[in-house]
């Protein structure tokens, strides 16, 4: 089946630093990639949708200058959390979909900001 690779699996960083998370579709071309955030015992929260070669569409309340998304190719999207703060600590999950196909999720990145 389709595989989405997300890296790193977990990261600890100091407050004020930036963290980049990569999401790759390994065996299909991802026309659309989605970034989610999930706090403990809560539902998935869609942060943004990105299509290859165009600017990401952010959900209401998500700061686009803080969460930078780049989708430079059909197999790679990155999320950069800039100037991270402890409240940004969460489980970040990417997902990818080809045309008319199911959504496949990466394994997620657990971010802890100290």
Partner 1 sequence: QKEVEQNSGPLSVPEGAIASLNCTYSDRGSQSFFWYRQYSGKSPELIMSIYSNGDKEDGRFTAQLNKASQYVSLLIRDSQPSDSATYLCAVNRVGNQFYFGTGTSLTVIP
Where on the chain is the footprint of partner 1 (CB under 8 A)? 1, 6, 31-32, 34, 43-44, 46, 49, 91, 93, 95, 97, 99-100, 102-108
Q: CB 64: neighbour CB atoms within 10 A? A: 13
Closest to partner 1 by CB, 78 vs 109, is 109
Closest to partner 1 by CB, 71 vs 104, is 104
What is the bridge-based pairing of β-strands 67-73 and 57-58?
Answer: unpaired
Structure tokens at 112: 């802890």
For residue 16, the minimal CB distance to partner 1 (Å) is 27
For residue 25, the minimal CB distance to partner 1 (Å) is 14
Run of H or E residues at 51? strand 45-51
Closest to partner 1 by CB, 31 vs 82, is 31
Backbone phi and psi for residue 91, each to the nearest 5 degrees, phi listed first = -105, 115
For residue 26, the minimal CB distance to partner 1 (Å) is 15
For residue 5, the minimal CB distance to partner 1 (Å) is 12
Say which DSSP state 74 is in: T
**Residues forming a β-bridge with 80:** 20, 68
């Amino acid at each position: 089946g389709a595989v989405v690779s997300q890296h790193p699996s977990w990261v600890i960083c100091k407050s004020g630093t930036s963290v980049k998370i990569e999401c790759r579709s390994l065996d299909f071309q991802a026309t659309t990639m989605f970034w989610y955030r999930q706090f403990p015992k809560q539902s998935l929260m869609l942060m943004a949708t990105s299509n290859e070669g165009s600017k990401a569409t952010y959900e209401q309340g998500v700061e686009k200058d803080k969460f930078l998304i780049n989708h430079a190719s059909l197999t790679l999207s990155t999320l950069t959390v800039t100037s991270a703060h402890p409240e940004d600590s969460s489980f970040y999950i990417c997902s990818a979909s080809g045309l008319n196909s199911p959504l496949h999720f990466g394994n997620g990145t657990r971010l802890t900001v100290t």
